């Protein structure tokens, strides 16, 4: 008799960063064409990514939801919504509320943002208390160059011991950091609210490979989450910047097929 499988409630979505340097509209079009369950909007220089009305029109046109907003807390988005860090988080939460997204992904502060870093853990906790949106802090990695390692993030790049209520686990970042991804899944437990699915070979570069092309336990992480009844979303965040449109579509189709295959668990017996 064929084995029975349970499929989790969590959706499999496409990050709009996966179609960069194309824009937000291309991200929605690709997600709809390939059969993704939704999109994560990376707030970027594309003005559509910052405007709730425009995003709602895209949701209506393509018939797919926005599951999450990625705040502009990357090094390359420091000037979006002004130079101060907290407005970036607050504007992202407001945007998520307006478009019906359940999660806002934020990076920890850079070490030169000392005042922001000093109040970051408490500030995120306070904002989680007053909004229905989950603010999920993402794991990062140390920066390395010429044999030296620099701690670029405060209070740290590893969220496991920092007490955040919600965490985003990025499997390309675990590769770059040399972290034990399955160990982090176990340690985070129910605090793991959001997954960025990608792969990495262990290079010092943040590679964001199609899952299955690197050395991270992408399949095991998905199967483990499915088995424990994970209800968060799985977001494909894959680098396609140097690819043609046709090859980009093939890679993102392969990434979705991988996620669909492994985000399942044997049906419990007894």
pLDDT tens digits, residue range 25-48?
A: 999 999 999 999 999 999 999 999
* Average pLDDT for the chain: 94
Mean pLDDT on 179-195: 98
Residue 152 Ramachandran class (φ > 0 left, ψ -120 to 50 alpha, else beta):
alpha
Mean pLDDT on 127-134: 96
Mean pLDDT on 68-92: 94
Examine the pLDDT at 128 and tell me if it is beyond 50: yes
Mean pLDDT on 101-110: 98
**Residue matched to tokens 């509209």:** 25
pLDDT band at 219 (very low <50, low <70, confident <90, very high): very high
pLDDT band at 268 (very low <50, low <70, confident <90, very high): low
Count of CA atoms in the C-beta half-sphere (13 A) of 103: 33
Mean pLDDT on 142-161: 86
> What sign results for the dihedral spanned by CA atoms 145, 150, 154, 157?
positive
Going from N- to C-terminal start, the domains of the chain cover 12-263
pLDDT for 57 equals: 98
pLDDT for 1 equals: 45
Q: What is the pLDDT of residues 226-239, one digit of tens each?
A: 999 899 999 999 99
pLDDT for 5 equals: 72
Mean pLDDT on 162-178: 97
pLDDT band at 146 (very low <50, low <70, confident <90, very high): low
pLDDT for 73 equals: 93
pLDDT for 65 equals: 98
Say how far apart CA 104 and CA 139 lie, in whole Å: 14
Examine the pLDDT at 2 and tell me if it is beyond 70: no
The percent of residues in the chain predicted with pLDDT above 70, rounded, is 96
Mean pLDDT on 88-93: 98
Nearest to 128 by CA among 163, 173, 80, 169: 163
Token pair for 64: 């797919």
What separation in angstroms does the CA of 215 have from each of 99, 107, 174, 181, 261?
A: 36, 24, 10, 11, 18
Q: What is the pLDDT of residues 197-206, one digit of tens each?
A: 999 998 888 9
Please give the distance of CA 183 from its chain centroid, rounded to a whole number. 19
Examine the pLDDT at 164 and tell me if it is beyond 50: yes
CATH annotation of 12-263:
3.20.20.150
Continuous segment of H or E residues that includes residue 70: strand 66-70
The percent of residues in the chain predicted with pLDDT above 90, rounded, is 86
Mean pLDDT on 80-91: 96
pLDDT for 147 equals: 67
pLDDT band at 258 (very low <50, low <70, confident <90, very high): very high
């Amino acid at each position: 008799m064929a084995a029975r499988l349970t499929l989790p409630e969590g959706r499999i979505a496409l990050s709009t960063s996966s179609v960069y340097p194309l824009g937000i509209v291309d991200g929605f079009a690709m997600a709809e064409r390939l059969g993704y369950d939704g999109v994560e909007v990376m707030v970027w220089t594309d003005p559509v990514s910052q405007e709730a009305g425009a995003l709602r029109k895209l949701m209506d046109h393509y018939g797919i939801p926005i599951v999450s907003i990625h705040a502009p807390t990357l090094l390359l988005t420091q000037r979006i919504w002004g130079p101060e860090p907290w407005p970036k988080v607050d504007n992202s939460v407001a945007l998520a509320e307006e478009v019906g997204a359940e999660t806002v992904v934020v990076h920890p502060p850079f070490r030169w943002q000392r005042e922001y870093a000093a109040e970051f853990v408490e500030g995120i906790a306070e904002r989680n208390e007053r909004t229905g949106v989950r603010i999920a802090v993402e794991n990062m990695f140390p920066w390395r160059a010429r044999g030296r390692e620099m701690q670029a993030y405060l209070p740290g790049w590893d969220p496991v011991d920092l007490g955040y209520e919600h965490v985003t686990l990025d499997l390309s970042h675990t590769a770059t950091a040399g972290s034990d991804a399955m160990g982090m899944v176990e340690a985070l437990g129910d605090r793991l609210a959001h997954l960025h699915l990608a792969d990495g070979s262990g290079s010092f570069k943040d590679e964001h490979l199609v899952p299955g092309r690197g050395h991270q336990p992408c399949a095991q992480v998905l199967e483990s989450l499915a088995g424990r009844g994970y209800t968060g979303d799985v977001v494909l965040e894959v680098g396609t910047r140097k690819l043609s449109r046709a090859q980009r579509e093939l890679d993102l189709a392969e990434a979705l097929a991988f996620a669909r295959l492994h985000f399942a668990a044997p049906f419990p017996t007894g």
